[in-house]
Amino acid sequence: MNLSAKGGGSGFNPVLIILGGAIVLVGGYLISLLAPSLFPVAASAEAGPIDQLFQVMLFLGGVVFMLVEGLLIVSIVRFRARKGETGDGANFNGNITLEVIWTIIPAIVVVFITLYSYQVWVDIRAPKDDELLIEANGQRFVWSFTYTDPLDRLAELNTQTFSDNVLHTYVGRPVRLKMYTSDVNHAFWVPTMRIKQDLLAGRETEIGFTPTVAGRYRVVCAELCGSGHGGMFTYIQVYATEQEWLERFIDPKVDFIVNPPSDPVVLGQVTLQSGRDGRAYPCSGCHVLDELGWAGVTGPSLNGIADTADRRAQSNGLADAADYIAQSIRHPNAYAVPGFNLGVMPQFGGEETEPEAVDGAYYMYMPTTDLINIVSYLCTQTATGDSACGDIDAITTAVETQSQ
C-alpha cells in the first residue's frame, strides 16, 4: 500500500473512512452522555457551565479515544504478521498531507476549547451583584465561618460578628467568601458546587458562588495540611429562602449575643459552637462529642470526658475534674493521653499563660471567662449528666490555677 499516492490503495477506501469516522464520532458522543453521572448533584449556578464544559471535553476526549484505540485495534488485527511471515512492512515514512491534517485539526480544537474555557472562567469569576460576604477561616483541622447580622442589630455592641463551624446560606444569593488560614495552606472545596480555592498563609484569598438547591453539602479541605487533613471537613447548609436562614440561623445567634444566658453551662456549650469575637474554637475539628454532633478523628473523644477527667486527676497530681479539663486546654502538652501524640493540639492560652515550647504546637488565645464556661459545660459530660465538678467558684479556681 502506498500512502503517498493520493487516495489510492486499499488503505484509503473512502467508504471505510467515512464509516470509521462515524463510529468514532458516535462513540465519542455516547461516551459524553456519561458526564452527568460522573458528577455529584449540581447545587450551584457555577456547576451548570462547568458540567457542560466537561461534557464537551468528554465528547472531544471520547472521539480521540475512539480514534486512537480504534486505529490500534484495526492495526493489531489487520497488520499482524502471520505465522511464519518474516518479511518487512512497506517502506513509507511520511505523508505531508496526513501530518498537516493531524497538526491543524488538533490546533483548531485547542483554539476552540481555549476560547470556550476562557469564557466559562470569566463568567464564574466575575463578581455578582449583592453578594453575601462571609469570612472563612481554616486551621488544622477545622473550618469556621464568621457572619455579620444583615439586620445590623449588633451595631451598638462590642461583639459585632459571630461564628459557626458550618457555612450557612440560602438559595439564590451569591456568596463571597474571604478566606484566611491560621497556620498552613488549606483549600476550600465544595464538590457539589464545583468550586475550590486555596487558603494561603499570609494572604487573603476569596471565592464566589451562588447556591441553587437547598440542602446540606459537604465541604472538604483539599490541600494537604497535616495528620488530620482527611478529617478536616464541614458542611454548607443551604436554606431554601432568606427567611428560613434568618429564622433558623441568624436570629438565634444574634439573640445569644444580645441576651446572653447566665447559666455558665449553656454559655459554655454555645461558646464551643460559636467561638468568641468571630473566631470559632477549632475543637470540633479533632474531637468526638455526640451531644454537639462533633465527629473529629485526630484527638481523644470527649464523650464522658468529665468522668475520665475525674479518674485521671488523682494520678496526674491534679485537684479534680475541672483542674484536669482546664489543664488539657491551657497546657495540652503536659500530659499525653495514651494513643495520641503531643504537639498536635493547639495551646489555648489565657491572659497570663506561659506558652509551651513544643515543636509543631501553636497558640490561640482563649480568655478566662470563655474557659470557665467551657469547663462548666464539659463538666456535665458524665454518664449521668450531672456535673462532676463543684460550683462555679471551684471551677473558677481550677481555671485560674491552670492559667499560669
Partner 1 sequence: MASITVPMSGAQTAPRPKLSEYLRWSVDHKIIGTQYMATALFFFLIGGTLALLIRWELLTPALDFAATGSIYNSLFTMHATVMIFLWIIPFWAGIGNYIVPLQLGAKDMAFPWLNAFAFWLIIPAGILMLAGYFVGPAEAGWTSYPPLSVLFSGDGQTLWIISLHILGVSSILGAINFIVTIKNMRPESMGWFQMPLFAWAQLATSLIQILGVPFLAGGLTLLLLDRVAGTAFFDPSRGGDVLVWQNIFWFYSHPAVYVMVLPGMGVLSEVISVHSRKPIFGYKAIAFSSMGIALVGFTVWAHHMFTSLSPSLRIPFMVTSFIIAIPTGIKIFSWLATMWGGKIRFNSAMLFSVGFLSQFVIGGITGMMLGAIPLDIHMHDTYFVVSHFHFVLFGGSVFAIYSSIYHWFPKVTGRMLDERLGKIHFYVTYVSFFLTFFPQHIVGMQGMPRRVAEYAPEFQTMNIIISISAFVLGISTFIILFNMWWSMNHGKIAGPNPWRALTLEWQTSSPPPSYNFKGEVVPFEDPYGYGTEASRVYLDEMEKRLTPANLLGKTGDGGNSSEPMTGD
**Binding residues for partner 1 restricted to 114-143, rule: CB under 8 A:** 114, 117-118, 120-121, 124-125, 140
Stretch that binds partner 1, among 153-161, 162-170, 229-237, 347-355 (CB under 8 A): 229-237
Of 69, 263, 290, 291, which one interacts with partner 1 (CB under 8 A)? 69
Selected binder of partner 1 within 290, 341, 363, 386 (CB under 8 A): 341
Please identify, using beta-carbon distances, which residue of 22 and 295 lies nearer to partner 1. Answer: 295
Bridge partners (DSSP) of residue 325 are none
Of the candidate residues 8, 40, 293, 355, the single one contacting partner 1 (CB under 8 A): 40
Tell me the CB-side half-sphere exposure of residue 130, using CA atoms within 13 A.
Answer: 3
Here the cell at position 216 is 446540606
Q: Tell me how far, at minimum, the Cβ of 341 lies from partner 1, in Å.
A: 6
Rounded Cα–Cα distance for residues 177 and 146 (Å): 10
Q: Cβ of 285: how many Cβ atoms within 10 Å? A: 27
CA 343 vs CA 211, 371, 403: distances in Å = 38, 21, 19
Q: Copy the grid coordinates of residue 93.
A: 515514512
298 binds partner 1 (CB under 8 A): yes
Nearer residue to partner 1 within complex by CB, 218 or 311? 218
The only residue of 61, 215, 300, 367 in contact with partner 1, by rule CB under 8 A: 61
- Find the binder of partner 1 among 228, 275, 278, 349 (CB under 8 A): 228
Site string for partner 1, 351-370 (x = CB under 8 A): ---------x----------
| For partner 1, the closer CB: 14 or 317 | 14
Cα–Cα distance, 167 to 175 (Å, whole number) = 11
Long-range Cβ contacts of 290-299 (<8 Å, 24+ apart): 291/381, 296/141, 296/142, 296/228, 296/231, 297/228, 297/230, 297/231, 298/141, 298/227, 298/228, 298/231, 298/344, 299/340, 299/344, 299/345
Rule CB under 8 A: choose which of 7, 14, 79, 393 binds partner 1: 79
Minimum distance of partner 1 from residue 191's CB (angstroms): 3
Distance CA 287, CA 37 (A): 35
Q: Residue 329 carries which DSSP code?
A: H
Q: Which is nearer to partner 1, 268 or 285 (CB)?
A: 285
* CB burial of residue 254 (10 Å; 0-12, 13-18, 19+): buried
Pick one of 19, 23, 102, 248: the residue that binds partner 1 (CB under 8 A).
102
- Distance CA(301)–CA(286), nearest Å, equals 9
The count of C-alpha atoms lying within 13 angstroms of the C-alpha of 127, restricted to the half-sphere facing its C-beta, is 9
Task: Among 22, 72, 133, 336, indicate the residue that binds partner 1 (CB under 8 A).
Answer: 72
Size of site (CB under 8 A) for partner 1: 88
Among 25, 64, 154, 342, binds partner 1 (CB under 8 A): 64
Give the strands of the sheet with 233-239, arranged side by side.
167-170, 233-239, 215-221, 186-190, 195-199
Phi-psi region of 367 (alpha: psi -120 to 50; beta: other; left: phi over 0): beta
| Residues 306, 308: Cα–Cα separation, whole Å | 5
Q: Which is nearer to partner 1, 95 or 316 (CB)?
A: 95
**What residues from 137 to 196 belong to the interface with partner 1 (CB under 8 A)?**
140, 183-185, 187, 189, 191-192, 194-196
Q: Which is nearer to partner 1, 1 or 22 (CB)?
A: 1
With CB under 8 A as the contact rule, the residue among 20, 25, 45, 53 that binds partner 1 is: 53
Using a CB cutoff of 8 Å and minimum separation of 24, what contacts does 103-107 make? none
Provide φ and ψ at 384, rounded to 5°.
-95, -20
Report the C-alpha gap between 305 and 302 in whole angstroms: 5
285 interacts with partner 1 by CB under 8 A: no
216 binds partner 1 (CB under 8 A): no
**CB nearer partner 1, residue 126 or residue 155:** 126
- Choice from 29, 39, 235, 365 touching partner 1 (CB under 8 A): 39
Window 243-282: residues binding partner 1 (CB under 8 A): none
Closest contact distance (angstroms) between CB of 175 and partner 1 is 16
Nearest distance, CB of residue 236 and partner 1, angstroms:
13
